[in-house]
Amino acid sequence: MMLYLLLMVVWYVTGVFAQCNLPPSEWCSSRMTAQLCQVEKQCELSGYLPGVSANPGPVNFTLYYESLCPDCQRFFREQMFKAYKTVGQIMNITLVPYGNANEQKDGSKWKFQCQHGPQECRGNLIETCTIFNEKKVQNYLPFIHCMEVSGVMPDEAAEKCAKQFPVDLDSILKCANGSKGNALEHHMALQTDALKPPHQYVPWVTINGVHTEKMEKEAERDLVSLICDTYQGVKPSACSRSTHHTCWRQKA
C-alpha cells in the first residue's frame, strides 16, 4: 500500500498521473496503456503484456475452486477442460481445491468446514490427493474434470472416473483418508488465504499471479481466448478463435 501511494505521489508530481487516469488493474491491459503509464518494463516482467517474445514462457493459470460448487463445475465443463485440450501447451495449470472453506486446528490435524457441506470437503481432499499423487497435469486434470462434471458425490465420482482414466485410486483414497491428505489440504488453504486481493467467490482465477474482475469475466466467457491473448509467443493454431456464474464467499 505504501509503495502504491508513493507511486501515485511521484506520478502526480511528474505529471504522469494526469495522463494515466486508469486504475492499476488496467495498467498492463495493452502496450500503449503501459507506455502511457510508464510501466511497460514492469508489465513485461510480470508476463501480462500482450506482444510476441522470442522465448516466451507459458501462461501461468491458477484456478481456485471447491469441488461441489455448481459454478466451479460449470467452469470445468465449459472452459477449463476445453482450454487444456486446445491450448494446454502454452499453459502452466495449477488447481487449488479449497475455495470458500474454513479450517481450524484440532490437535495434530486440521478440521475443515466447506460451503457445500462435508461432501464438498471430501471432494476437495480427493482432488488434492489426486494432484499430489499423479503429479503431471495430463494425468490428474482429465480425472478431476470427470469428477467435477459427473453429477454424483465425490467417492462415487472417483470410482466411476478411475475406470475411465489411469489413476491409482487406492493410493489417492489412502491419502485422502489419512494425515497426508489432511496436511495437503491445509497447504491448499494456505495458498487460498494468501491471495492478494483475497478471493471473494469461486471460481477465482489468476493469470501470472494477477487477478482482476475484467480477467475473471473473460475467463468465464472464453478462457481459450484469454490465454491466447495473454501468451507472448507465436500463437498456436487453436488460438484462431474458439456464462458467468460465481459462488460468493461467506464472511466469517
Q: What is the pLDDT at residue 2? A: 45
Q: What is the pLDDT at residue 32? A: 45
Model pLDDT for residues 9-49, shown as the tens digit of each residue = 444 444 544 455 556 766 775 554 576 577 877 776 666 66
- What is the distance of C-alpha 3 from the center of its chain? 26
120 and 175 both lie in a single domain: yes
141 and 32 both lie in a single domain: no
Q: How many domains, the chain?
A: 2
Residue 100 lies in a domain: yes
User: What whole-number distance in Å separates Cα of residue 173 and Cα of residue 56?
Assistant: 38
Residue 94 lies in a domain: yes
Model pLDDT for residues 200-236, shown as the tens digit of each residue = 999 999 999 999 999 999 999 999 999 999 998 989 9
82 and 26 both lie in a single domain: no
Residue after which a domain boundary falls, among 10, 25, 46 = 46
88 and 211 both lie in a single domain: yes
User: What whole-number distance in Å separates Cα of residue 173 and Cα of residue 111?
Assistant: 18
- What is the distance of C-alpha 61 from the center of its chain? 6
Percent of the chain at pLDDT exceeding 90: 71
Q: What is the pLDDT at residue 46? A: 67
Helix H, strand E, coil C: the string for 114-171 is: CCCCHHHHHHHHHHHHHHHHHCCHHHHHHHHHHHHHCCCCHHHHHHHHHCCCCCCHHH
The CATH number that applies at residue 173 is 3.40.30.10
Model pLDDT for residues 60-73, shown as the tens digit of each residue = 999 999 999 999 99
Q: What is the pLDDT at residue 41? A: 72
Residue 95 lies in a domain: yes
C-alpha cell at 150: 459427473
Mean pLDDT for the chain overall: 86
DSSP letter for 65, please. Answer: E
Least confident of 46-55, 189-198, 232-241: 46-55
pLDDT higher than threshold 80 for residue 129? yes
Dihedral of CA atoms 180, 185, 187, 190 in degrees, nearest 10, equals -160
125 and 102 both lie in a single domain: yes
Show the domain range for 176.
Answer: 59-240
